[in-house]
Amino acid sequence: MILLVDPGYRSGSLPRDEFVLPVVRIVERSGMSWIYRHYDDMDDEEVLDIQGIIICGTALKDNHFIAHVDRFAWLNGAMVPVLGICAGMQILCLTFGGSVKEGCEIGMTEVNVTVPHPLLPPPPSFQAYELHSFSCDPPPGWETLAVSCGCVQAIHDPNRPRFGVMFHPEVRNDRVVEVFLEMCGD
Amino acid sequence: MRLGVLCSGGKDSLYACYRAMQEEEVACLITMKPKNPESYMFHTPNLHLVPLQAEAARLPLVSVHTEGKEEEELVDLAGAISIAAERHGIEGVVTGALMSVYQSSRIQRICRDLDLWCFNPLWYTDPDAYMERLLTSGFRVIVSGVFSAPFDASWLGRELDHRAVKDLNAYVREYRITLTGEGGEYETLVLDAPFFQKRIVIEKSEIHYRNYRGVLDVKQAHLEER
C-alpha cells in the first residue's frame, strides 16, 4: 500500500486532480494499492501500515503548505521509502533542516545528473517537466543527484530511502515513480 | 475562489468547467477566436457556438479575437484573462488541458505573470475513466471535426455515446489514435452539460469532408428547454 499525500490548499481540491491522480495512475499500473490523505488529515498511526509514501505536488500558486510544514513532523518517524515531488521535495527539505527560496521554472527543462542513481534516467541529462515557484537548499548531509540551470532537481538522504525531485516525474518521466515503487516493494 | 474557464466549446474545456464548479465558483467563460485556422493554441470548429453554451450555462463570456500567430496569440490570451479578472473578479483560470505541455506551460506562465491560479483538472487523467465519467454525468457531446485516418464522414455530427467510445477504442488499438482526441485526431462540440439550464439544438449544418479531414459546420442553432 502506497500512501499518497496531498499538500494542496484543501482536501480534494482541484490540485488533487492535477497532481495526485496522475501519480495514482502510475501506482495502479505498477499493480500496487494506494491510499489518499490530505496532509491536514494525517495521523501517525497511518504511517505504520504502508510500504511507501509519495508526497505529491500542488498548483504553482499554492504555497499554503509552507506555513503548515509542522504538520509533516510525522515524516521523522516514517521508516518506509519516501518520495517528495515538487512541493513534496520542498516539504522534505523544510522538515529535515533544509530551506526553500524563490526560484521559478515552468515547462520542459534540461536536468543534469550529477550523481547517477537508479531512480533517475542515466547521465548526462534528461528532459523533465517543471512547475514550481520555489526551489530548495537540501538538508545538511543529503546528496544532490541532479540539477538544472535554475536549481537542485533531485536529492537523496544517504541514511534513509528518502528522495526529493523538483520536476514532475508523472509527466513524461513515469519511470522515476516506477523505480521508487520497486524500492517500496522490495 | 472565483475562476474563469478557457472554453473552446469542446468536451475537455466544459468537463473541466463542470469539475471546477464542484470545488469552486466559476465566474465566467473565456474564449479566443483565432482568425488563423492553423492557430497553435485555440483552433477548433464551431467556436462561434461558445456564446450559446455560455448562455445555456448562464455564465458571462469574455470573447477576444486573435490573429492566431504563434506567440502573438499568447499576448491576446493574457489580455483576455486580464479582462476576465477585471470584469468578473476571477482569481484563477481553468483549462481542459489533457497532456499538452506546450499549451499548459504557456498558460501557466501567463497566470503567474498575472498573479492568478491555474488549474488543469484533466491533466494526465486516465482516458478510459474520463470518457466514462463524461458519458455518465449528463453531457451530450458530438464529433464536430475529424483530422486523421480512419475517421470517415459518418463521424461528423455523431454523438459520443458508449458505442462511439467502443469504436474509438478499436481505433486506438488499430490506428494508435488517442481515445480522447488529445492528438488532434478529432474535435467535439458540447450540446448539453449537467450545469446547462438549456440544451443546444442544431437546426442547420453542413459537412465538409475530404481525405480523412472534415468538419461539421453548424450554420444555425438555438437553445431549448431541457
Encode pLDDT of A156-177 as tens digits: 999 999 999 999 999 999 999 9
Rg (CA), chain B: 17
pLDDT per residue over B76-113, tens digit each? 999 999 999 999 999 999 999 999 999 999 999 999 99
Searching chain A, which residue's CA lies closest to the CA of residue B116? A61
Report the residue from A59, A106, A171 with minimal CB separation from B124. Answer: A171
The distance of B23 to chain A (nearest Cα, Å) reads: 6
Which helix (H) or strand (E) segment is A102 a member of? strand A99-113
Residues of A with CB under 8 A from a CB of B: 12-15, 17-19, 21-22, 25, 59-62, 104, 106-108, 129, 131, 133, 170-172
CATH label, B128-225, candidates 3.90.25.10, 3.40.190.10, 3.90.1490.10, 3.50.50.60 = 3.90.1490.10
The distance of B119 to chain A (nearest Cα, Å) reads: 7
Domain that holds residue A70: 2-185
> Across all residues in chain A, what is the average pLDDT?
95
CB contact under 8 A, A18 and B119: yes
User: Counting one residue from A and one from B, how many pairs have CB atoms under 8 Å apart?
Assistant: 62
Task: Write the CATH number for A108.
Answer: 3.40.50.880
Searching chain B, which residue's CA lies closest to the CA of residue A63? B117
**Any A CB within 8 A of B23 CB:** yes
Residue A42 has pLDDT above 90, yes or no: no
Q: What percent of chain A has pLDDT over 90?
A: 92
**Any A CB within 8 A of B118 CB:** yes
Q: What percent of chain B has pLDDT over 90?
A: 88
Choice between A46 and B210, residue whose per-residue pLDDT is larger: B210
Domain total of chain A: 1
Tell the CATH topology of B2-119: Rossmann fold (3.40.50)
Identify the band that residue A182 occupies on the pLDDT scale cut at 50, 70 and 90.
Answer: very high
Identify the band that residue B72 occupies on the pLDDT scale cut at 50, 70 and 90.
Answer: confident
Contact between A58 and A27 (Cβ < 8 Å): no
CA–CA dist A144, A127 (Å, integer): 17
What pLDDT sits at residue A44?
A: 61
What the block records as the C-alpha cell of B45 is: 470548429
- What are the chain A neighbours of B116 within 8 Å (beta carbons)? 61
Ordered DSSP codes for A31-84 = T--EEEEEGGG--GGGGGG-SEEEE----TT--HHHHTGGGGGGGGG--S-EEE
Give the residue among A5, A92, A76 at the shortest CA–CA distance from A41.
A5
**Any A CB within 8 A of B122 CB:** yes
First-to-last CA distance in chain A? 13
What pLDDT sits at residue B40?
A: 56
Report the residue from A12, A18, A107 with minimal CB separation from B101. Answer: A107
CA–CA dist A133, B128 (Å, integer): 33
Interface predicted TM-score (ipTM) of this complex, two decimals: 0.95
Identify the band that residue B37 occupies on the pLDDT scale cut at 50, 70 and 90.
Answer: low
Active-site residue A156, yes or no? no
Percent of chain B as helix, strand, coil, to the nearest 5: 35, 30, 35
Write down the domain spans for chain B: 2-119, 128-225
**What value does the mean pLDDT take over residues B191-206?**
97
Give the residue among B138, B104, B106 at the shortest CA–CA distance from B122.
B104
Report the residue from B24, B105, B123 with minimal CB separation from A106. Answer: B105
- The alpha carbon dihedral of A9, A56, A91, A184 has a sign of positive
CB contact under 8 A, B120 and A172: no
Give the residue among A152, A154, A155 at the shortest CA–CA distance from A141.
A155
For residue A165, what are the contacts with CB-CB under 8 A and spacing of at least 6?
A83, A84, A85, A86, A89, A146, A153, A154, A176
**Any A CB within 8 A of B124 CB:** yes
